[in-house]
């Protein structure tokens, strides 16, 4: 009897140890997936700061109506910043006319400021583009863009603030 109890106890301890190892590994993985943002705000704080449309796009992954943003046809030289946190994200230098009705770029200004992740919404796999600093949704990136990258960053103008240079 005592031996059986010891074995049970030992296997329980081993079980607990391996369990805690797994959860730590899992936690680490989750942290890699959803990094801590440099700019973090509550739902209420974002709602107070952003317009209703900005909130829908940036925080709820909405999409503005095609051709609704004045930035779509904007040809001035300057920098496109995140409308939520002000991080410089795209440049007029890499903007092109895609004909889609959304501001389009063939590459980000600083790759480090932009995050790309798989998005399985709407029953298809697309690559979502987010502001890395605040996690705001910007749009999607497709592989049918012009040279030299062949990429098309299809963005919501409402998620961006243009700063003329």
Known catalytic residues? Answer: 154
> Tokens 């890395």 sit at which residue?
132
Closest to Zn ion by CB, 71 or 85 = 85
CA atoms 122, 125, 126, 131: torsion sign: positive
Q: Applying CB under 5 A, does 133 fall inside the site for Zn ion? A: yes
List 71, 82, 138, 154, residue binding Zn ion (CB under 5 A): 82
CA distance linking residue 79 with residue 164, whole number of Å: 7
Q: Applying CB under 5 A, does 160 fall inside the site for Zn ion? A: no
Closest to Zn ion by CB, 81 or 94 = 81
Residue 148: is the preceding peptide bond cis (ω within 30°)? yes
Q: How far is the CB of 87 from Zn ion (least distance, A)?
A: 5
Q: How many CB atoms lie within 10 A of CB 61?
A: 17
Q: Applying CB under 5 A, does 83 fall inside the site for Zn ion? A: no
Q: How far is the CB of 81 from Zn ion (least distance, A)?
A: 8
CB burial readout 7-20, b (16+ within 10 A) else e? eeeeeeeeeeeeee
List 109, 134, 141, 154, residue binding Zn ion (CB under 5 A): 134
Q: Applying CB under 5 A, does 57 fall inside the site for Zn ion? A: no
Closest to Zn ion by CB, 82 or 154 = 82
Backbone angles phi, psi at 137, to 5 degrees: -75, 130
Closest to Zn ion by CB, 134 or 151 = 134
Q: Applying CB under 5 A, does 159 fall inside the site for Zn ion? A: no
Of 163, 164, 152, 153, the C-alpha closest to 87 is 163
CA distance linking residue 26 with residue 24, whole number of Å: 5
Q: Applying CB under 5 A, does 131 fall inside the site for Zn ion? A: yes
Q: Applying CB under 5 A, does 85 fall inside the site for Zn ion? A: yes
Q: Which residues bind Zn ion (CB under 5 A)?
A: 82, 84-85, 87, 131, 133-134, 136
């Amino acid at each position: 009897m005592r031996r059986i109890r010891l074995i049970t106890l030992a296997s329980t301890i081993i079980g607990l140890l391996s369990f805690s190892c797994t959860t730590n590994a899992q936690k680490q993985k989750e942290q890699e997936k959803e990094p801590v943002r440099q700019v973090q705000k509550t739902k209420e704080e974002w709602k107070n700061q952003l317009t209703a449309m900005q909130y829908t796009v940036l925080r709820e992954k909405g999409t503005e109506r095609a051709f609704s943003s004045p930035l779509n046809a904007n040809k001035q030289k300057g920098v496109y910043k995140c409308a939520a946190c002000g991080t410089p994200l795209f440049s007029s230098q890499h903007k092109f006319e895609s004909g889609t009705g959304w501001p389009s770029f063939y590459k980000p200004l600083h790759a480090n400021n932009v995050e790309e992740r798989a998005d399985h919404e709407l029953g298809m796999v697309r690559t979502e583009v987010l502001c890395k600093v605040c996690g705001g949704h910007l749009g999607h990136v497709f592989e049918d863009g012009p040279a030299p990258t062949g990429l098309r960053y299809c963005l919501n103008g409402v998620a961006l603030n243009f700063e003329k240079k």
